[in-house]
Structure 1
């Protein structure tokens, strides 16, 4: 099964319903980048009339995780993946439509090749930048992913 935006959004509906209900949607996925979008609405707001940080984190994590899933699928190996830690920085109030973009600079492919070659787990960081409709950055989130071959 090839990962597509439609299949990933259907996955959200059934496996991550809170993200789906909050409006998180994959807009674009390719081997080098993934874009995920979410619009500020009543269901995902905080008391300060902007998007709740956890909703931003769901969208940002999905932009990184979908890329990892795509590369794992392409490896044709049975590889487990998990977020080990994350860091966030918020620079502007998140209102309107926020788009998170993660660009893969070969960290994923290198880690997959290393875990296949050595049989040992690997960790790597992926960054997702959230920007509003004007292109202004509202948040920056880094996720440390761990992968390892399943037995």
Structure 2
């Protein structure tokens, strides 16, 4: 696996999405459910991304914890923001989640932080798709921890990348 190279386009994308106001506008336009759930992108580097979701009225389930779909949204956003960053610049690349698996360890209450450390693998898959013109898939892992540092959920998202011709 290659290490992730930071490009000027990726850096410009990071500046945009790490600006809280610009991220909110993006989510209202493109990801309204993530905006309603209150997802926050707190870190984005060429290597990893961190997204938070808080237990509140709009994210709750009947069991007084965060609804699994809200957890899945946060996990997907952690890997998805990295994917979006790595497709910046160069020829266009389509991206799509083709598989999602989740394991739940304990009730998710309070602030849950999802981190995905798969930036280099995503960058490599995007580069290979651009080089070959063929689709590439990559399995990313987003791990959610609570405020005490306990793992509450682990999601595995399989992304497909295909360079457009």
TM range (shorter): over 0.9
Distance (whole Å) between structure 1 residues aligned to residue 113 and residue 48 of structure 2: 13
Q: What TM-score does the superposition give when structure 1 sets the normalisation length?
A: 0.94
Give the aligned partner of residue 31 of structure 1. 46
Is contact 2:48-2:117 (8 Å) kept?
Answer: yes
Task: Report the secondary structure of 2:82's partner residue.
Answer: helix
Any gaps of 5 or more consecutive residues in structure 1?
Answer: none
CA distance in 2 between partners of 1:61 and 1:149 (Å): 21
Structure 1 segments of 4+ aligned residues over 4 angstroms from their partners: none
Listed one character per residue, the Cα deviations across residues 42-84 of structure 1 (whole Å, up to 9, x for unaligned) are 11100000000000000100000000111111x4221110000
Partner of 2:5: none
Q: What is the alpha-carbon distance in structure 2 between the residues aligned to residue 68 and residue 8 of structure 1?
A: 16
Question: Residue in 2 aligned with 1:117?
Answer: 131
Distance 2:97 2:50 in 1: 19
Aligned CA-pair RMSD: 1.3
Q: Does 1:81 align with 2:95?
A: yes
What SS class does the counterpart of residue 120 from structure 1 fall into?
coil
Q: How many residues align?
A: 150
Map residues 2-21 of structure 1 onto 2, 5 A cutoff: 2-3=12-13, 4-6=17-19, 7-21=22-36
How many Å separate the matches in 2 of 1:112 and 1:17? Answer: 26
Q: State the match for 2:68 in structure 1.
A: 53
Deviates more, 1:75-84 or 1:129-138: 75-84
Whether the 8 Å contact between 1:9 and 1:26 is mirrored in structure 2 is no
